Structure 1
Amino acid sequence: MNRPTEVLIVGAGKRVQNAAVPAFHRAPELYQIRHLVGREEREETFDGRAYPVRALKSLTASDLEGIGLVFVCVSKESIPSVLERLASLAPLHTALLIDTPVLRFKHLRHARHLSAFQSVSVAEDCSTLPWLDVVRAAIAAGDIGELKSVFFDQSAWAYHGVALAKTILGSTQVRSGRRRKHGGEFASRRLVIGGKEALFMEPRDYATGRLSIVGSKGVISDFGLQAEGALRLESIVEAGACRGFRLGSHEVLLDEAEASLMQNVPEGASATALMEAAKPVGFLRLLRALHAGERGYPLTEGLDDMIIDYHLEKFGRYAANPLTSSRSPLAKILMGI
């Protein structure tokens, strides 16, 4: 029997506490947390277990011996210095899982530090949300005809929304985008992805947000849209725990480890309302895929999501070209990845 992969986690904030550590704990046969690292030494209790948090500056190359995975989840401003510090320890035989958005646009020159690792994946759990399974099944079965568009009505945001739209529409090719302000905090976005359309209304509000996926002969929604050919994406809740999702004749059931991450769920809660609860399950699925040797969320896609979001926020528009897409050879040379 293979030993669990030993893990070093850099960061000790809410994301680590509420999603990452609980997910690692649900896969003890695959992963074992050896070190938890922060800005300074202290004690923390995550998911019912006490951890000594080491100071990043105290790490040495010997601390990475035997470490199979480093997960980095720190503030956006801290990412460049953390990557530089880790790269100085020569992690040539260690995989890196880095949280979104990987780097800020102004920090892209620091992407060169990523080449120090054996491999790099992005912890974009919006690409592995559990309800995506039934959505894919319904689309593949032709239940709504030819897939045309997806509409996130206050149900997705920023680079996470880009990733989720690409996942649902089944394409990584974001050709163009526009963002328009509508007064106050309200705004809309439109992305053209692989010839299909993704529409967003801002600001995000998971409690009241809605999701619609439009095809040539029907619509998938998570709020019970009353229209011909409409299918409702529903959560399966038993004894306060989300046990899976149902869409027409398609159903996905969570295993016990996944269901334990989605507790205290109200009956009838929509997929959008359960977004925060579902993300740890998505994180767990990412971890399982990585351990099985499958590709995680790719670095180029994570960087692209950030670059697209940056252009929409700053300029109100995005157009894919060799300078604005991290998958282009020119951009990779400039970033050193």
Structure 2
Amino acid sequence: MVSVSNLLIKLARRLFSNPQEQDKFINALLSPQDFGSCILWCRQKPQDMDWEILPATSWQPDFIERIAAGIKPGSHPFHQQGYFYCLDFSSVFAASVLQVISEPIHCIFDMCAAPGGKGIFAQTLLQANLLVSNEVIGKRIGMLMANLKRCQIQPVAVVSRDSSFWAENLVNSSDLVIVDAPCSGQSLLAKGEKVPGCFHPTTINKNANRQKRILANSAQLVTPQGYLAYMTCTYSQEENEGVCEWFLERFPNFQAINVPHLQAFQSHLSAVPCYRMFPFSQLGAGAFTVLFKNTDQNSQNIGAVNYLNCKVLNDSGVKILFQN
């Protein structure tokens, strides 16, 4: 039986041709570190905050701040009052591709929404008429609703259906669909968490197949000239570049968009413009991200701005609706 360490070495060799980079990658996973916290300001920042703020990157939005290691912002009263949302800076990296969107966004559909960070980031950035947060795993819905309510994100509808339901019933409905896909979670190791079996080929292939299905279903929701963001928190090529290449072969109306501010992070493993953060960057544990655009010009659009009155949404079992 192949040990986990051997599978990690094999992964490192697939990701990097340079032995020094292979060693840096392996050491980052075997010697976890505290990357510090990151907060997303949902309301105006109070004047009396005295946390040590790390220097901002050139690409993080103004409503994001990186906090020095050792500080626990989640225990601060302002967190409970909904002033900010805590997230990993790798998540900021992944969601930052949305900053290249310049068109008005009427509806954001977050397909795998819990615990809510990507949707909150997108709504804070783009100020859509509606955020639809979908979470198919029932036990995660309570956490999702609590975060959205605490941070006063509105208008937002929380729903719980498989991606296939939405693909059949809400075709060409959303200007932006976010797929923060379920994955093998290999980057969690860089933060000291245990992820048994995350390097095993069976685990990786199972996740890649699930990701392809969710991404294919999600594509059906995207309006002509709309966007589809795909992201993971894992390293395996099969779950990242491999999924992107598979998707573009089967959906030729989509194209991957260049994200200039992430040029230094562009993956060397594919000709598709997609982006990776590795743990040895010292910024975060790791992430993969890509932004697709639906190049179709003419297609039926059910009218995302009327989502709140959409019978399909109402009949789908809306868990909660926050509305201005």
TM-score (structure 1 length as normaliser):
0.30
Larger relative contact order (Cα-Cα within 8 Å, sequence gap ≥ 6): 2
Q: Which has the higher helix share?
A: 2
Q: Which has the higher strand share?
A: 1
TM-score (structure 2 length as normaliser):
0.31
